[in-house]
Each structure stands twice: as C-alpha cells, then as structure tokens.
Structure 1
Amino acid sequence: MTFLSPSTRTATRELLTLAWPVVLARIGIMTMGLTDAIVVGNYASRELAFHSLAWAPHSIIVVTAVGLLFGVQVMTARMLGEGRRAEVGAVLRRGLVYALQLGVAACIALVFLGPWLLRQLNLEAGLAEGAGPALIVLALSMPAYLVSVAAQFFLEALGRPKPGMVAMWVANGVNLALNLLLVPDLLGLGLNGAEASCWATFAARAALAIFLVIYIVRLPEARALGIFTRPRPDPVAAAEQRRIGYGGGSSYFIEVAAFAAMTFIAGQLGANETAAWAVVLNVSAIVFMVPMGLSSATAVLVGRAYGAGDSEGALRAGLVGIGVVTGLTLIVALLVWPSAHMMVGAYNRDPLLLAIAAPALVLATLFFVADGIQVVAAQANRAAGDVWWPTIIHFAAYGGVMMPLGWVLAHQIGVNGLVWAVIIASLVSSALLTGRFMRVARRLPASTQALP
C-alpha cells in the first residue's frame, strides 16, 4: 500500500467527504463552550473562573458518557459493512435508551456530589461557591445532550453527518442569543454570569436533541433501517455495543479527568491562573475538535472495513486518517501561534490575564499534532476491535505522566508547567497508539474476530 495508490486516494476522498461535516459539528460543540466563555469572560474575569471550574467536573462525566455511547457509531458501521442494514435501528434504540439512563444518572451524581467536590479542592476563597450553581444547571442538561450524541453518532455511521452539523450550528445560535440576554441579567433574574450562561447551554442542548430525533424518525428509509421495529433480543450484539462503549468511556474518563485535575491545580495557583488556563484549554479544545471529527470519520471507515472482513482496507483507512490529521493539525498550529495574543484578548483584556495566558497558548501549539494523532489512532484501534489497549495507553500517558508532572511543573513555573506536561503526555500517547494500531490492523483475520 502506497500513499499515491488508487485505493489510498479513494480512502482519502471518502474520509474527507465524511469528515468535514463531522469536524464542523464537533467544532460546533466546542464553539458553544467558547461562546459561553467569551461572553462570561467579558462580563468579569472572576466569573470566567466560576465557569471553568463548573465545566471541569461536568466535562469528566459528559465526555465519559460520550465514550460509553461510541458503540452506537461503531456497531452501526460494522452492520452496514456486513450488509445487515435492516438491523441498525436496533443499535439506535439501544443507544437512545442507554443515553437516557446515563444522562439521568450523571445528572443526579453532579447535582448531589459536584458542588461538594468543588468545596473539597482547596480552591481560592469564593471560587467553589460561585461555580456550584452553574454546575447544577449543566447537570440538568445531561439527558438531552446524551440523546443528541447517540443520534449524531448514528447519523454519522449512516454516512449522513450534515444534518447533525446543521443542527449543531442552529443550537449555537440559540446559545449565543440566550447568553447575550441572560449573562448581563437583562431579565433581572439575579443569576451570576456563569450560571446564566449554563442556562443558555441547557436550552441549546434540548433544542439539539429534539431536532435530531425528529429528523431520524422522518428519514425516508427509517422503516427499512428497522428504526420502528421492535428489535429481537440479540445479547451478543448488545454486549459488543456496551463493550466498545466501556473501552471508549474508560479512555475518555482518564483523559478528561486528567485535564480537569490540571484545572484544579490551576485553581490552587489563583483566580488569574485559573482563568488563563481556562482560555488555553478552551482554545486547545476547539482545535481538538478537528482531530475529534476526523477520528469519528476514521472509525466509521475502519468499522465498515472490519465488518466486511477487509483487513487491508481497515489498515488503509486508519493510516489515511492519521496522515490527514497530522497535516491539518500542523496547519492549525502554525495559524494559532502568531495570533495567540489576539485570541486571548477575545476572552478578556485584563493585562495580567494576557501576560499569563498568551505565552501559555503559544506553547500549547506544540502539542496540537501529537494530540490529534493519538485520538485518531485510538478510535481506529477501537473500530478494529481493539477496545482496551487504547484505555491502558491513555491511563499511562495522562494518568501516569501528565498529572504528576503537571502538579510538579505548575508549582515551579505556573501555567506553562501545565502545558509542558500536556506536550510530553501527548507525545507518549500518540507514539504508542499509532504503533498499536499498525500491529492490530495487520493481524486482523478475515473472519473479523477481535483481538483478545
């Protein structure tokens, strides 16, 4: 297989055709958080710290839950590859029920434990009390958001990513309008800026879920896909769908928990450091949506090849995804580097915040490529049936390397120390996961049985 071979060029075209709407949809997810942060940050830098601290525990739960739903995408793609088109509706139905269960459980956990957890973290005085109400509002939006994720994964696996992209950007419009109305308290509701912004997110997530579910049930081929058919019991497929989700959820939990821990470390340094880290993390997270979208598209193509018993096609799709994400993230890094000061200024023009956040954002561009490679390689591994090794590698890189290194370096050189820890962990993760995928794909048997 060479990069210029016809099959590789075809795989690249298929990847890019599927990926660009997925990338825009993922960017839309983070743009919602960016909108919140910019509106709140221009209202008051301390409110931005509240917002960041509320998102930290919420992000651990929400990203873990998204990973647990990854089986919807992979199993739909595999069944299409196997020619079992009429059975994909059962995957969706299981996924929606699972999403609601996860959403309710996450909501209850965050409402009752989230504010208490913030108070145990030795944060600067007043930060935990300000972030608590915002965290509760984010918790209430969890069921709707996870339903939207399951629906979006299903559409992407079908090769219909554009409706999800459009719906996400409409939801962003709803979020922006409500932010501009609620954060300055134009209605006199007495909410702090962070809490008001989270109510805007709540409404946008609800609108997104409603639209996507209605769109799916109105698909012309909905009956042919088995969406309205009560699925017969299939414990093997159900178990595999959950197994894929367990691997994805565990891996996402480790990574996002590690980044949340970095936010708490920043909180120990002070409000300005917390706000500066929030800006760096928010911009980096938006950039991360490019490889996140490419990882989903790569997983769909690898999953289809896996379902069809095409081991060479699975290897090709994964390597094309890794190659494309390398080029795109390098371009993004070169664009962000010279514009870092301007980007930070969009959040808040406080000279002290600019002095901390702008150099840290410049430094953060050094991990964009490695971070992109590792997420694409991890999803390609899971789509090829290798569920648990990506989780083990993420635990080693982000739990074993980044968190302790971040604590040591942050207390020595501040926010830049947190960034250096991310750079090193991302390099470790990307190298190990890429090597693992090449080994897994080359060993895939034609029977498509997963590796032990």
Structure 2
Amino acid sequence: MRSDQEYPARIAPVQPRTWRRHAAGVSGRMTDATLPNHTIADHIRRTLILAWPVMLARMGLVGLTTADVMVLGRAGAEELADYTLGLSIYDSLLATMGGLTMGIGVLTARSTGAGLDHVAGTIWWRGVVYGALIGCALAVLLQFSPQLFALLGQTPARAASAGSVTRLVALALPFVAIYFATTTFLESLHRPMVGMFAVALANISNLGLNILLVHGIGPFPQMGAEGAALATVINSALLAAGLWLYTRHRLPDRARYGIGQVSPNAPTAAEQRRIGYGAGLSFSFEAGAFVMMTLFVGWLGTMALAVQAVVFQFLALTFMMAFGLAAATQVRVGNAWGRGDARGMALAGWTGLGLTTLLASLFAVIYVAFPMQALRLFTTDPVLLAAAAPVMAWMTLALVFDCNQSVLSHACRGRGDTWVPTAMHLVSYWLVMVPAGYWFGIRSGAGVIGIYQGILLASIVSVTMMALRFRHLTRITG
C-alpha cells in the first residue's frame, strides 16, 4: 500500500483550465473543491463560509449539555456532581467516535477535490455502518460503569449514582455515531447548513425534555441527572434519523455523489478505517486524559465536581466553536491536497489557525472581564460561585492554546497525516497533562485551579508540536 504522501501523485495533475471545465460541466459554478484560490482574502472568506454553520452546529452539540447543566444547576450540587462524573467517560467516547469516522471527511474532501464525486456515497455508507456498530459495542461496555468508577477510586455511593447516569446515556452512542458520520460527510460536500438546523431543533426539544424529566412535571417523574441522560438519548435518536433520511432521500445531486450505490473506484475500506484508527486513537488519548482530570476532581469532593461542571462549559463552548473552524480547515486542506495544490494547503491551514486564535482570544477576554456574570448563567449558589470564579482565569488561558492545537491537528489530518498527530497527542496529554494535573491539583493542593494549569501546559506543548508538523507537511508536498 502506498503512503498518504503519494496520493497526489496518483491523481493526474490537473491544470486550472481543466478544473474550470469540470466545475462548469457539473455544477455551473466555482467551488472550493474545484478551483485553487491563493489570496489570503479568498481563504478567509471560503473558510468562514464553510465554518460558520459548522461552528453553530458544534455549539449546538455543546448546547445540549449546557441546557442539562443549567437545569441541573437548579436541582443542587449533588445532581451536578453525578452528571459531571457520569458523562465523563461518555464524552470521551464521543471524541473517539468522532475520530473513528474522520476517514469519511478526509476521503470525501480528497475525492471531490480530485473530481471523483461519484465515490462519495460509498464512503458515507461505509462510515454509517461502521460507526453504528462501534456505538453499539461501546454502549454494551458502558453498562459496567459503576464497577469502573469504583475501581478508579470514587466512593461507592458516587460510583453507583454516577454509573447509573453513564449506563443510561450510553444508549445514545449508536445514534451519535450515525450523526457524526452524516454531518462530517455533508460538511465535506460543503453542505454544513443541514447539520446546523438539525442541531438547532434538537436543542429546542432537549430543553423541553430536560424540564420535564429532570424536575418532573405532571405524569413525568422527577429523575434528576438520569432525566438529563434520557433526554440526550431521545434527542440523539431523532438527530440520527433525521439526518440519515435527508442524506439518503433528499440530498440534492444524490446521483452525482453516488448515494445508494457502491462504487468500485472508491478509496478502500481499509484506507478509510486506517484514517479513522489514527484519529480515533488520537482523540481517545486527548479525551481519556480529560476523563482522568475529571476523576482527579472527583477525588476533591462534591463541590469541586460542581465547579468543574460549570467552568468546563465555557471551555467546551469555545472549543466547539473553534472545532467548526478546524473542521472547515480540514476540508479545505483536503480539497487542496486532492488537486495537488501545496500552496493552497499551507494557506488553508494557517488561515484556519489565525481565525481560531482571534475567536478564542475574544471569548477569553469576555470570560476574564465578566466571570461572575458568566457563571450566573449556570448557578445562583453563592458558595459555588465563589469557588468557581478563581478557576475562570486559568481556564481562559488554557482554552486559547487548546483551540489552536485542535485546528492544527485537523489541518494535518486533512493532509492525510495519520499517526504523527496521534503520537503528539499521546505525549502532550498523557505524558504532560495527566502528571501535571495530578501534581498541581492533588499533590500541591491547588485543587481545580491546578487541574486547569495542567491543561494549559499540555495545550502549549501540543500546539507547538502540531505547528511544526504542519509546516513540515506543506513543505515536503511542494
């Protein structure tokens, strides 16, 4: 099997005039997948056009959890603690599944960038089946969550209550896998609006279900943290069904993209899985390390878990907005790679980094300037507010570097770099963040502040390594 670096050589280099004929013959308009653009203004404009609906969709995913925290915040610190710990392993597996299905986005962007539109449907369908099977297997494994929490040092009562939340929310994993596979596919076709609107509708239904199930209204019993988990399962099923039906039966140009067909010219299933293995393992390293940080917080007690539940929402919200820019950057780097455009790859990646830095810095300033106002969105408990406020400053420092490492990781993967970013995540998160978080947060007694100091240190290491790697990839391609 040839290496990723050889792929542009397997595609006959296509001159811009040929791309114009292809674009006019297929769609009648210029697209990012068919025509290189080398000005920075073009790259900014095209990245933002693709990114803003993806950003809103990813923010919508965080919004589902944010609504859970806002509703549970009125139910007390105990419910927040159960929810925070209960979703820690589930959230890490979401990242893993997002990575495992990344082959869909990389290969779809590369293939359409090379003019092979008809193979896209095969890539998507493989990803849906593959993701659903993985989701089912993981859901079964998470039925042993109470025992796992007990083994990881949580108190028997906390292991049981948080484990019951994990066991219930695990049922959403197959549906989330289908959602990831389909939205990644649509985004790679430069159709991100569909996922954005679907998640917007899911947020409306999720808030209503949370109010009904967490606190209990009328015939609905009061379920607390388990009610929030059940709302997640219901909404995930609705999201998966709606997006699958749209792509299979309503997507414009279904024949052009080979929806419902199997193309012998599609990249091999082994190559698609290989990209997913690398990304999935990489995201598992990152997400698993964050699970360890949450477990450290659990050792600090109920109030520390409640602080983590509130403060982490700001990190997650900003990160998901940056993730939208990262996803757009990956698609645009992949398109440029498919057409053999080395300069376009470099500009697409560095443009994504610049836009991400501006976005993360803007929100960091807001969080530092108005910490109490931001925290009151989630809780009115004066004790919790007082404990969370000092953590906000360290969280804002960490989020800027964390967002930047994400966009550079996606840029490398858009170029087809599979295993090097994975190794970098192993180093930065398990060899830096976990030991640093334990030392600062537990051994040195800094508490939750020390946890975020560890996150900051790891993110600085990660963004430095990813920047050097992407710079190397764009130079060797030329």
Q: Give the TM-score of the pair, scaled to structure 1.
A: 0.94
1:449 paired residue number: none
**Could you say if the C-alpha distance between residues 334 and 304 of structure 1 is closer, same or farther in structure 2, counting changes exceeding 3 Å?**
same
1:29 partner amino acid: L
Equivalences for residues 285-304 of structure 1 within 5 A: 285-304=316-335
Is residue 27 from structure 1 mapped to residue 59 from structure 2 by the alignment?
yes
Correspondence for 2:261: 229
Work out whether 1:9 is the aligned partner of 2:50.
no
Structure 2: distance between partners of 1:125 and 1:89: 48
2:294 is aligned with 1:263:
yes
Q: CA deviation at 1:149?
A: 0.8
Which of 452, 455, 465 is equivalent to 1:432? 465
Report if aligned partners of 1:124, 1:270 keep a CA contact under 8 Å in 2: no
Q: Distance in 2 between matches of 1:61 and 1:229?
A: 30
Q: CA deviation at 1:401?
A: 0.6
Matched residue, 2:33: none
Deviates more, 1:342-351 or 1:284-293: 342-351
Amino acid aligned to 1:178: L
2:130 is matched with which residue: 98, 102, 122? 98
Q: Is structure 2 residue 428 aligned with structure 1 residue 383? A: no
The aligned residue for residue 158 of structure 1 is 189
What is the aligned counterpart of 2:95 among 51, 63, 70? 63
Query: Does the 8 A contact of 1:373 with 1:430 survive in 2?
Result: yes
Matched-pair contact (CA < 8 Å) for 2:214–2:224: yes
Q: Distance in 1 between matches of 2:157 and 2:453?
A: 29
What amino acid does structure 1 have at the position aligned with 2:65? Answer: G
| Equivalence for 1:448 | none
Aligned-partner Cα distance in 2 for 1:244–1:316: 23
**Equivalent position to 2:367, from 333, 336, 339:** 336
* Matching residue's letter, 1:185: G
Deviates more, 1:161-170 or 1:353-362: 353-362
Residue in 2 that maps onto 1:324: 355
Report if aligned partners of 2:213, 2:223 keep a CA contact under 8 Å in 1: no
CA shift digits 1:80-130 (9 cap, x unpaired): 01100011111011111111111111111111x222111222224522221
CA contact (8 A) 2:38 2:343 kept: no
TM-score, L = length of structure 2: 0.89
Instruction: Work out the number of aligned pairs and report it.
Output: 439
Native 8 Å contact 2:206 2:232 kept in 1: yes
- Displacement after TM superposition at 1:224 (Å): 1.8
Residue 89 (str. 1) matches residue 128 (str. 2): no
Instruction: Tell me if 1:107 matches 2:139.
Output: yes
Q: Which residue of 1 aligns with 2:451?
A: 418
Contact 2:150 2:156 survives alignment (8 Å): no
Deviations 1:221-280 (A, max 9, x none): 11221012133385x532221111111111110111111111100100100011111222
Q: CA deviation at 1:347?
A: 2.1
State whether structure 2 residue 412 is matched by structure 1 residue 400: no
Report the counterpart of residue 177 of structure 2 in structure 1: 146
CA positional deviation for 1:174: 0.8
Shift of 1:386: 1.3
How far did 1:187 drift?
4.5
Assess, with a 3 A threshold, how the Cα gap between structure 1 residues 142 and 207 changes in structure 2: closer, same or farther: same
- Structure 1 range deviating more: 74-83 or 384-393: 384-393
State the match for 1:171 in structure 2: 202
* Separation (CA, whole Å) in 1 of partners of 2:101 and 2:77: 35
Partner letter of residue 21 of structure 1?
Answer: P
Q: Give % identity.
A: 37
Match of 2:310 among 279, 283, 305: 279
Question: Is it true that 1:364 corresponds to 2:356 in the alignment?
Answer: no
What residue is the counterpart of 1:209 in the other structure? 240
- Find 2:252's aligned residue among 200, 220, 245: 220
- 1:450 paired residue number: none
Work out whether residues 285 and 425 of structure 2, in 8 Å CA contact, stay in contact via their aligned partners in 1. yes
Give distance in 2, aligned partners of 1:256 and 1:127. Answer: 21
Distance in 1, matches of 2:170 and 2:412, equals 31
Alignment-derived partner of residue 444 in structure 1:
477
Distance (whole Å) between structure 2 residues aligned to residue 280 and residue 393 of structure 1: 26
Structure 2: unaligned runs, 5 residues or longer: 1-36
Partner of 1:252: 283
Q: 255-264 or 355-364, which moves further after superposition?
A: 355-364
* Maintained 8 Å contact 1:356/1:415: no
The one-letter amino acid paired with 1:31 is: G
Q: Any runs of at least 4 consecutive aligned residues in structure 1 with deviations exceeding 4 A, and if so which?
A: 187-191
How far, CA to CA, are the matches of 1:278 and 1:94 in structure 2?
Answer: 36
How far did residue 212 of structure 1 move? 0.8
Give distance in 2, aligned partners of 1:57 and 1:368. Answer: 21
| Cα separation, 1, equivalents of 2:372 and 2:155 | 26
Contact 2:425 2:462 in 1 (8 A): yes
Q: Deviations over 1:340-394 (max 9, x none)?
A: 2222222222222112211102221112221111000001001112111111111
Task: Name 2:8's counterpart in structure 1.
Answer: none
CA distance in 2, matches of 1:227, 1:12: 31
The alpha-carbon deviation at position 408 of structure 1 amounts to: 1.3
- Partner SS for 1:126: helix
- Which residue in 2 is equivalent to 1:239? 270
1:345 is aligned to 376
Letter in 1 for 2:345: A
